[in-house]
Structures are given as structure tokens and as C-alpha cells.
Amino acid sequence: MERNKIRNFSIIAHIDHGKSTLADRLLQMTNTVSERDMEEQLLDNMDLERERGITIKAHPVTMSYKANNDEVYELNLIDTPGHVDFAYEVSRSLAACEGAVLIIDATQGVQAQTVANIGLAMKQGLTIVPVLNKIDLPATDLAMCYEQLEEILAIPAEEALLCSAKSGEGIPEIVEAIIDRIPCPPEVEEKSLASLIVDSSYDAYRGVVNYVRVFSGEVRAKDQITMFSTGKSYEVKEVGVFTPKMKALDVLTEGSVGYLIGNIKDTADSKIGDTITSRMEPVKEALPGFAEVLPMVYSGVYPIDSADFETLRLSMGKLQLNDPSFVYQAESSAALGFGFRCGFLGLLHMEIIQERLRRHYDMDIISTYPSVIYHVHLKNGEMVKVDNPVYLPDPSTIDYIEEPVIAANIMIPNDYIGAAMSLIMEKRGLCENTTAVDERHVMLSASLPLHEIVIDFNDRLKSMTKGYGSMNYTPNGYQQAPLVKLEMKVNDDPIDAFASIVHRDAAESRGRKIAERLKDVVPRQMFAIAIQAYVGGNIVARETISAMRKNVTAKCYGGDISRKRKLLEKQKAGKKRMKQIGNVNIPQEAFVQVLKASTSE
């Protein structure tokens, strides 16, 4: 296809504003997918995406369209996720495009993630095509949307197109606008092959499949290619495009988006953001890749059966291939055995990764309580980074601890300002600014500790605003806080799997919750078991599992009371001795129940 007939674009929007539905209509209109094969959210091909109704991975597809001027155009669409945890997927997709279709729900208007995504697109200099979706609904408020477009996003209201992705109304105008407004790939002087790896997946029979955007030159089967970062060379076995299934072609030309399969066997050899170039005529410098993404939330992931450790390592390697924001390294726990310390972008990202391990790789796993990276400043002037409470230095050597902070933009209807402010204060946050977006909506700018929002902040915000509140956040450095290490002891034995770093004021309540849960799941013994939560040397919460009692006086049918007393004293002494030498074996199911309850609270 000629370069000036190619249009590369993404669809960006807040969650549930209609990205995947619009992609379905575009596939139908361009006859890319036949009516017989058509189904809702066609590009969301992962079972998890369909169940949760969200897009997790960016999905590329190539469409051919005959425009009003009778010219045939190649439209390369990349459908992107909307959730804040997957913002990295969006930035990668935008790097392969010249334009973006921005969808706004005409009933809700501009939301927090809309602002974040438009910021990513404008930073990369993309042409924006604004679309107001769901105009067929009775709650549509176009006046509000036009005002928000101009006031918040600085986009002229007359540029906005109206459509209903569900009914198909307005779709032809959107396709024509994509062709008219979004520029074709720019002409480059470089004639050698330079293509950017924007994503990749692993095929058990063919090895690594790289999703690429060709910026210069062309690539075909049997070409010799080199990876810029590793210097390793491979032979191309197949090139092609997604329609949305893989369709082999003879050649991928300048400006195209498609896939490339070489004889790449090891997942570590294909890095997202790397440049693929010709082995014979390599380009002088790599294409600008993507900023190295840093995980924000850490959790231990352990196999229920320790024999599955190596299988879990291989499964995580395959997952990491097309999700570089997921990182892991081996660790061990006295309670849970060998496992991995894993880093995630957020709690939803963590849930999705764990669910993919369970479903796609048939792994039976358990995860520890989520933690973030703390900066621990010691009295000798050193600073150590701690992502696992077990490795927190001795309190006597610590000068102070800093925790990560985020800058949050929270968009809510005016009626819920009081409730939102209370929630921010409860989570140790500070509301810095309040901006009226329009007559009915307000944007709160707040600074919050990351650890406080990863668990349930978004859920509670949605609940209190009846689903109308939305939040987007970005890392905003570190701040000093009175943090302590909360540990649990069962029968005087420390259990490292339940250790966590918490704010001093919350240590008692959290310790009491875990102690109560442990009391319910730890089996009773012949002696009393003390479950204690402690900070430093101080016990802040305690529960006691009473001893099972054997009736040693059952055979005494009357007679002298001193005989019964003697038997009871003997039993009491025996229990005391048993407690000194007895070990409490906490079953694996107890860990699973307590940790599951902890991570879902």
C-alpha cells in the first residue's frame, strides 16, 4: 500500500465510553469481518476481558476502506484499554500512530481518564478526532460535552462528531474524518529497515510473535534482521497483518502496522520498545522506545504446591513477554516456601496477572498482602528501598521512613464533594485544589499515599458517587510518614507471610483484624494458643484459641474430691509442658483464607 493511503490511529477514552463497541462498528463497515463471524467486543479476545467488560491488552487490526473519492485506504486501528492501571498499554499504542479518535460518553462527559489519555496523545503530537458517543440515550447532554471539550481539553466544539456506536449512527462520518484529518505516515529519508516492537506474544509452535510498526524501509520473509538492543540476528519466517486474525503478506512496507515472526525462541530476546533493523544495512540509531515503566505495587506470589515452582517461573516469563510492566524475582518464605516477589502497576493489574496465571497456565497460586516501595533512611545516612516488610531493618537503626505519594485527579458530581473529601481525609490525603468543570461536575486535585489507595479507594469512590466518580493518578515522589512494621506471632512463633508495613495509627485495628481471622482458621490444639499482633516489642492485639479439653475425671464416680483435683492438676501440668515444646502447624488453607481476606478488604 502506498504510504499516503495509510492511516494509523488509536481509539482512546475513559472506561466504558464505548471504545470496543466503536471498533466493532468500524470492522463491520469496512467489511473486515463478515456478519457471520461478527460478535460484540470482537477485539477483546481474552476471556477475562469479556467477563469483566474491560479491555486489558491493546489490539491491532488492519482494515481496507474505499472512501467517497473512490480511493482505497489502509486503516490501522489499535483499540486501547481505559483503566488507569493499563495506561502504559495506551502510551505504547500511541507511539505507533499519527492520530487518535477520542471518545466521550455524551451522558457522562469528560472523565478523569479522558484527561489523562488526551495528555498522552498530545505529548506525542497526535491529531485528535473527538467523538461524542451514545447520542441515542435519553440522558444525553451535548451542551455539557461541548462546554467540557473547550474548557477542559481545549478542543473546538465544532470539531466533535456525533455517533451511536451501538446502533451504527454516525460511523461513516467518523471513517471519513479519520481519512481527512489524520495525516499519513511521514516520509523519511532513511531507506534501511527500522521498525518498532509495540507488543509481542508467544506461540508454542512458532516462538515469539512481534507486533511492529514499520517506520522506514520494508521487511519480507527470509530477510535477515537484527535486534538493536541485543545485537542478535534472526531470519524472518513470516510477516503479515491482523484482520483481526493473523493474515500473512509478502511484505510490510513503510508506515504499516503488522506482525513479524522470526526464528526467535527465547522470550527474553524480544523486548517491547526495541528497534528491528536490517542485518545487512542497519540503521545508525534506534527509534525512540518507551520510558521504562516502574511497578508501583508489590506482592509475593507462591505456588500452593512447591513442586510447581519451576512451572510458575516459566509461566511468568511468558506473561512478561507481552506485559513488560510486570516484573518478578525469586524469594522464599518460611511459611509459604519458594515463590516470587512480583511488581504490578496497580491492584487491578495484580488481579489480572494472577487470574491469567490461574486460567491460561493452570497454576494454583496464593498471594501475600500488597505492599509498595518504601524509602527507609537509616541513622548512618544510608537509604534502602524496601518492597517486602520482612526486609525492613531493625527499628533501632531507622531514622525515618518515606512512603510513595500520588497526585490524583478525581472528577465527581457536585453533590458528592463532602463524601469525597471525607474519603480523602480518611486515607490520609490532602485535597489541594477544587475546580468547577461545569454546572454539575467538579475536579478535585489531591495528594494521597499510594499504599492507601491501592486496596479499595476506587471501589469506595464509585460506591459513594453511584458510579459517577472517576479517578486518574500519577506518581508524585515520596513523603515522610510514621510507619511501623506489623508482625504476627502464633504460639510465640513469628509468621512472616502476615507481616505488613502500616501507619502507626492503623496498626492496632489491622492487627486485630488479622488476629480474628487467624483465630477462625487455625486448628485447636490440646493447649491454648496465643495469636499476637506486635509492633517492635509491643503487643497491640491478641486473640486466644482455647485448648481442647479431655475429661480426665470421667472415670471418677464420686469419692474424695481430692482425687479429681489431683487428676486435673496433673492435666494442667502436662498442658503447660506440651505448650513449651509444642509447635502449631498452620495448614496451607489457613494462609489462603487469611491472605485472600486481607487482599480483598
357, 365 Cβ separation under 8 angstroms: yes
**Could you tell me whether strands 441-449 and 257-262 are parallel, antiparallel, or unpaired per DSSP bridges?**
unpaired
Beta bridge pairs of residue 286: none
Q: Is 323 annotated as a binding residue?
A: no
C-alpha cell at 307: 513442586
Backbone φ and ψ for 279, nearest 5 degrees, come out as -70, -35
Q: How far is the C-alpha of 22 from the C-alpha of 28, rounded, in Å? A: 10
20 is in an annotated binding site: yes
Q: Measured between alpha carbons, how far is 273 from 91 in angstroms, rounded to an integer? A: 11
Q: How far is the C-alpha of 123 from the C-alpha of 223, rounded, in Å?
A: 35
Q: Closest Cα partner for 302 from 280, 263, 330?
A: 330
CB 458 within 8 Å of CB 412: no
Question: Residue 433, annotated ligand binder?
Answer: no
**Separation of alpha carbons 46 and 164, rounded Å:** 25
Find where cell 496451607 sits: 588
Residue that is written with C-alpha cell 499516503 in the block: 4
Distances (CA, A) of 349 to 42, 85, 88, 352, 420: 22, 6, 11, 5, 24
Q: Which three cell numbers stand for residue 100?
A: 487518535
441 annotated to bind ligand: no
Q: Which three cell numbers stand for residue 135?
A: 447520542
Q: At what angle do helices 457-464 and 417-426 cross, to 10 degrees?
A: 160
To the question of whether residue 24 is assigned a binding role by annotation, the answer is no
Q: Which residue has the cell 505507533?
A: 96
| Cα distance between residue 244 and residue 20, in whole Å | 13
Strands 374-378 and 383-386: antiparallel
123 annotated ligand-binding residue? no
Look-up of cell digits 528501598:
385
Q: What does residue 260 show for φ and ψ, rounded to 5 degrees?
A: -140, 125
Count of C-beta atoms within a 10 Å radius of residue 158: 8
d(CA 298, CA 373): 8
Is 17 annotated in a binding site? The answer is yes
Q: Is 231 annotated as a binding residue?
A: no
| Residue 275 contacts residue 195 (beta carbons within 8 Å) | yes
Does the annotation place 570 within a ligand binding site?
A: no
Which residues have a Cβ under 8 Å from the Cβ of 55 and sit 6 or more positions away?
A: 19, 20, 43, 44, 49, 79, 80, 81, 82, 86
DSSP code string of 246-291: EEEESEE-TT-EEEEEES---GGG--TT-EEEESSS--SSPPP--P
Find all residues with CB under 8 Å of 392, minimum gap 6, and list them.
Answer: 374, 376, 386, 398, 485, 501
Task: Check whether 21 is labelled as a binding-site residue.
Answer: yes
Q: List binding-site positions.
A: 16-21, 133-136
Which residue numbers belong to the known binding site for GTP?
16-21, 133-136
